[in-house]
Structure 1
Amino acid sequence: MEYTKPLPKPDVWSRPFWEHAKNGVLATQACVKCGHRFFPPGPVCPSCYSFELEWKPVSGKGKVVSWVVFHQLYYKGFADEIPYNVALVQLDEGPMMYTNIVGIPNEQISMNMPVEVVFEKATDEFTIPKFKPQAGG
């Protein structure tokens, strides 16, 4: 089945994120100088302005900070999923990322809900990190 949702357009900064995700690993940039973890990726640490950066895996666990449920169809690829959610998850390591919460009805999403990453293979090139409620959370 063809994947019809919008796909990322990796650049020099985001390509390592997508390569890690393809291998089932959630990773963020980390500053070698001050240790700050951040996302989205970029050329400089937003905390100390160092250019010494590396990619490091994260636990894949976090909490829901905010979310919205879309009832309007903006992209044809989402037609079978209306209504669908877009959530902001804060990882245990600090960075936040936009994602989808899967595995539960939208009505069960709640503030500070503990979540963990799951990976959805979109194409041979892209695997999309999404989040589901943590077991026992």
Structure 2
Amino acid sequence: MTMNDNAINPAGPAARVYAETLAAGRFRIQRCQDCDSAIFYPRELCPACGSGDLHWFAPSGRGTVYATTTVRRKEEAGGDYNVALIDLEEGPRLMSRVDGLSPDAVCIGQPVRARVAVEEDQGVLLFDAVEVDRQPEKDHE
């Protein structure tokens, strides 16, 4: 799979800003100044309250895999890859893929962190799995 397979096709002004920002290596989403909703996919009006007072901000990049599936392809076509729905810490859910793991290793509830990959002047939002620091449980006596 090439990066262009996941490229945003900017249709409206907000989508163009999002695509240009990704191409510059930065991930931004919108927040409504009237109702404080974090918004993704880029919009001209807030889907929660209808306000046009939307501002761009840098989300934390932290998220959790909500759902995942494996797309099966022949090796000569690039091999298998995953498609995942990611719940961002700020609230919006978006579609992307978890990179750096075999598709079958991606699981629901897995913590992930966003990163932008840029190739041929186009950016794509990917996620990497985050290691969870687990402390051993103490025995209760």
TM norm structure 1: 0.84
Q: Could you tell me which amino acid in structure 2 is paired with residue 130 of structure 1?
A: L
1:14 matched to which residue of 2? 15
Residues 30-72 of structure 1: per-residue CA shift (max 9 Å, x gap): 1011110111111211111111111111011100000111114
Give 1:1-137 correspondences, 5 Å limit.
5=5, 7-11=7-11, 12-72=13-73, 79-80=77-78, 82-124=79-121, 126-136=122-132
TM superposition shift of 1:3: 6.0
Determine the C-alpha separation between the residues in 1 that align with 2:21 and 2:7: 16
Q: Which amino acid aligns with 1:97?
A: L
**Between the two proteins, what is the percent identity of the paired residues?**
26
Name the CA shift for 1:4/1:50 in 2 (closer, same or farther; >3 Å): closer
In structure 2, stretches of 5+ residues that fail to align are: 134-141
Cα distance in 2 between the residues matched to 1:4 and 1:41: 19
- 1:17 Cα shift? 1.4
> 2:45 and 2:110 mapped to 1: Cα distance?
31
CA–CA distance in structure 1, aligned partners of residues 129 and 46 of structure 2: 30
Q: Give unpaired runs (5+ residues) of structure 1.
A: none
SS in 2 for 1:17: helix
